[in-house]
Structure 1
Amino acid sequence: MKIKFGLLPRIALAIILGIVIGSIAPESVIRIFATFTTVFGNFLKFIVPLIILGFIAPGIAKLGKGSGKLLGFATAFAYLSTIFAGVLAFFVATNVLPNFMGGKTLGGIEDPETALAASYIALEIPPVFGVMSALVLAFLLGIGMAGTGSKTMIAFFDEFQAIIEKTISRVIIPLLPFHIFGIFANMAFGGAVAKILSLFAIVFVMIIILHWVMIMIQYTAAGSLNKKNPFFLLKTMMPAYFTALGTQSSAATIPVTLRQARKTGANERVTDFTVPLFATIHLSGSTITLISCAIGVLLLTGGTPTFSSFFPFIMMLGVTMIAAPGVPGGAVMAALGLLETMLGFDQTMVALMIALYLAQDSFGTATNVTGDGALAMIVDRVTRSGTTSEASHGEVLKNGKI
């Protein structure tokens, strides 16, 4: 019988081995690991703009096909939920984490290229274009394809997206544990492991609590609008939560989410339309994780998170999450470019961010899909209030417009 060794166990093993080997190995050995992290980090910088272009452009093109009000309400509520989750995470993290960290930072630990154990080689892999250029180009092409209905361009980007997704699932994700191993080996060599592990524990607990706070807010709102017990509604959606914990994929959980959402009493035609849509565009749990981890890494490296710098990041994150790759860790992959350009993350900070995010990716996914059920109920209630008639529901669904 073949035993599947998932990504999370591999990440955990990489961290443990990195700490152990980094604490005992000589500098010549650590430099080998630093060389790999340097080359792989440069490859990540190269691929990030392609990820943005490959996923956001076709994502916007397909969202733009819908002309019904149901799509507008669903998209608006998904975006507002994601933004609210990010703002909530910012204020909680900036008030909680500094108290636990006590002002401790990594001090002199810098990029692997300039740390005590330096890379043997400096292999530059310049991106084809910058992150912001990729974002602007993705929006331009996505809106253009939606407006013109260009089947040729959409087919091209569908295939391009498939290539990038294969690169993520077959190259980047399998190599991430080795990258994280190298980073932690270098950190252990430099004596910063204790601070990093204490940050992991604090952030992990805080994120899980924030996830459940966000879920309760969503179901309190859904229950109030529909005059139903939010705890009963939440209990109904629990199979979707636990399924997502195991699959780490919103898309793979759609059948269960859809079945449970129907049991909440929401209009079946609305749930059939919104649940698959929310699986793509609603990532409140992932946003909480990304913002919390980003603040933790920023504090650990001596930075000072401010709302003026994080709010634009949260707003852009809400858009970027629309087309996050549908693989474990896809949200953090899509966010790498924003972390570098808007928050100034360097290679080491990005590696810590990836490790922190992947450590609880399944919990973020579970929060995403559980929240989808609440949003489906909210959209159903709002559209039943006279803004969108039952006929328009049926018309949108009948015509297959999303």
Structure 2
Amino acid sequence: MKNLFIKWNQVSLVKRILVGLIIGVVLALTIPDAAGWVTIFGSLFVGALKAVAPILVLFLVIHAISKHRSGHQTNMKSIIGLYAISTFLAGFVAVLASFIFPVTLSLVPGAEDLTPPGGLVEVLQTLLFNIVDNPVSALLNANYIGILTWALLLGVLLRNAADTTKTAIANVADAITHIVKWVINLAPFGIMGLVFEAIATNGLSALLDYGQLLLLLLGSMFFMALVVNPLIVYINIRQNPYPLVFKTLKESGLTAFFTRSSAANIPVNMKLCDELGLDEDTYSVSIPLGATINMGGAAITISVLTLAAVHTLGIEVDFGTALILSVLSALSAAGASGVAGGSLLLIPLASSLFGISDDIAMQVVGVGFIIGVLQDSCETALNSSTDALFTATAEYAKKRKEGKEVIIKA
């Protein structure tokens, strides 16, 4: 048994995840009732990731900032710029695709009990209140904006602390990182449970009626992941971007697809950045920040579903107004990522731009929940994988400007 355990751990994590995925699919298609207990593995895995992520972010950021050397560049400005550009372009791609391939919806009720934000001001107000949240409350509710705020403040103030204090913080950060590695090693079992639950509970038949809408949504996301984002990376590093793009999709996007949570994927991205040899001072801040504001997939969802409602109602929209939608979707997706229901609850906000009533908009939200088993998974995979992608891109671009050789660890 011990030898089997050792051999299993020697196999790459991605291959082990694929094994778990295949087993989950087979069990869901053959004996869904008898193997219902498998779902507990998925719940435990996601629960463990969500449990460890807030405390990991808090101590890693405090550690990184407190030991930061004066004059040491962290590339944060470049990374935030890349996040903003990518999120805007995602909304723009979705708008363009919706004009080229307009789709209409068979509107359904089912989202009446949800409460969307009333406007962009409310979205930004929520963001500001998250910043000043009680630190204990921020940890309990996984409010990463609040966690980052407290971590940055404590990190700055602890720069002048005694070396023993900094060492203690570093030791705690290392211990939590080690726990994260244990949790990530359980990913094959977790994903087996998650994929089993998704197929056994929802099946794929419910998605067939919305095939055209799904093709537009997923096509836009794949176009961003495989065309636009690689182009952004190439402009910055002037090298073939696809080894880095495929690595981030494989290592980060795959787990994010099944966990459907950018927050739960923070430990996975931290581990990936470490494997890529990136600066810990940078990625310990950029990864949790990206999980909060880097929402290209959400911008696509908001734009596509809003314009689907527009086309369904026969509203004439000029391209300039639709372009404003891409800006609005990018801003609202970044500002309200912590709202329950994710990007779907921002559709009424975007729909108001075209005079669409909340009653109709909430029916569109209902359609979003029906296709959510694929839409939300692909959206999260795109969002989370680009956190690591652009963190690496900024560091490689800096090395290129300094005349250093850039080696992408595939």
For 1:234, what is the secondary structure of its paired residue? helix
For 1:97, what is the secondary structure of its paired residue? coil
Q: Return closer, same or farther for 1:383/1:356 CA change in 2, 3 Å cut-off.
A: same
Deviation digits for residues 292-313 of structure 1, max 9, x if unmatched? 1221222122223433333333
In the TM superposition, residue 265 of structure 1 has moved relative to its aligned partner by: 5.0
Matched, 1:249 2:261: yes
Supply the distance in 2 between the matched residues of 1:337 and 1:207 (Cα, whole angstroms): 18
In the TM superposition, residue 330 of structure 1 has moved relative to its aligned partner by: 1.3
In the TM superposition, residue 326 of structure 1 has moved relative to its aligned partner by: 4.5
1:211 corresponds, among 202, 216, 221, to 221
In the TM superposition, residue 371 of structure 1 has moved relative to its aligned partner by: 1.6
Contact kept? 2:302, 2:350, Cα under 8 Å? no
Matched, 1:77 2:82: yes
Letter aligned with residue 133 of structure 2: I
TM-score (norm 1): 0.55
Q: Return closer, same or farther for 1:198/1:308 CA change in 2, 3 Å cut-off.
A: farther
Alignment of 1:122-133 (within 5 A): 130-131=118-119
Matched, 1:134 2:122: yes
In the TM superposition, residue 164 of structure 1 has moved relative to its aligned partner by: 11
Letter aligned with residue 154 of structure 1: D
Letter aligned with residue 239 of structure 1: E
Partner residue of 1:187? none
Deviation digits for residues 261-280 of structure 1, max 9, x if unmatched? 34445444333331221111
Supply the distance in 1 between the matched residues of 2:81 and 2:209 (Cα, whole angstroms): 34
1:231 corresponds, among 221, 242, 249, to 242
Deviation digits for residues 272-291 of structure 1, max 9, x if unmatched? 33122111110111211221
Partner residue of 1:364? 379
Supply the distance in 2 between the matched residues of 1:366 and 1:349 (Cα, whole angstroms): 25
Contact kept? 2:256, 2:381, Cα under 8 Å? yes
Supply the distance in 2 between the matched residues of 1:126 and 1:296 (Cα, whole angstroms): 21
For 2:308, what is the secondary structure of its paired residue? helix
Contact kept? 1:85, 1:284, Cα under 8 Å? yes
Q: Return closer, same or farther for 1:304/1:197 CA change in 2, 3 Å cut-off.
A: farther
Q: Return closer, same or farther for 1:330/1:213 CA change in 2, 3 Å cut-off.
A: same
In the TM superposition, residue 90 of structure 1 has moved relative to its aligned partner by: 0.4
In the TM superposition, residue 362 of structure 1 has moved relative to its aligned partner by: 0.7
2:311 corresponds, among 290, 299, 306, to 299
In the TM superposition, residue 251 of structure 1 has moved relative to its aligned partner by: 1.0
2:367 corresponds, among 324, 344, 355, to 355
Partner residue of 1:96? 101
Partner residue of 1:380? 395
Deviation digits for residues 122-151 of structure 1, max 9, x if unmatched? x9x999x95355246457x56xx97xxxxx
In the TM superposition, residue 245 of structure 1 has moved relative to its aligned partner by: 1.1
Q: Return closer, same or farther for 1:162/1:345 CA change in 2, 3 Å cut-off.
A: farther
Partner residue of 1:222? 233
Partner residue of 2:408? none
Partner residue of 2:282? 270
Matched, 1:155 2:160: no
Supply the distance in 2 between the matched residues of 1:354 and 1:372 (Cα, whole angstroms): 29
Gaps of 5+ in 1: 6-61, 113-118, 147-152, 166-195, 388-402
Q: Return closer, same or farther for 1:354/1:282 CA change in 2, 3 Å cut-off.
A: farther
Partner residue of 2:349? 338
For 1:154, what is the secondary structure of its paired residue? coil
Letter aligned with residue 216 of structure 2: M
Matched, 1:281 2:297: no
Runs of 4+ residues deviating >4 angstroms: 109-112, 135-139, 156-165, 196-199, 325-328, 382-387
Q: Return closer, same or farther for 1:158/1:313 CA change in 2, 3 Å cut-off.
A: farther
Deviation digits for residues 325-367 of structure 1, max 9, x if unmatched? 458741222x145134323243133222342362411111001
Supply the distance in 1 between the matched residues of 2:336 and 2:324 (Cα, whole angstroms): 18
In the TM superposition, residue 76 of structure 1 has moved relative to its aligned partner by: 2.5
For 2:101, what is the secondary structure of its paired residue? helix
Supply the distance in 2 between the matched residues of 1:136 and 1:241 (Cα, whole angstroms): 28
In the TM superposition, residue 252 of structure 1 has moved relative to its aligned partner by: 0.7
**Number of residue pairs matched?**
272
In the TM superposition, residue 383 of structure 1 has moved relative to its aligned partner by: 4.6
Supply the distance in 1 between the matched residues of 2:353 and 2:333 (Cα, whole angstroms): 16
Gaps of 5+ in 2: 1-35, 41-60, 66-72, 145-205, 403-410
Identity %: 18
Partner residue of 1:173? none
What is the Cα-based RMSD across aligned positions, in Å?
Answer: 4.3
Alignment of 1:39-58 (within 5 A): none
Supply the distance in 2 between the matched residues of 1:232 and 1:136 (Cα, whole angstroms): 37
Contact kept? 1:233, 1:264, Cα under 8 Å? no
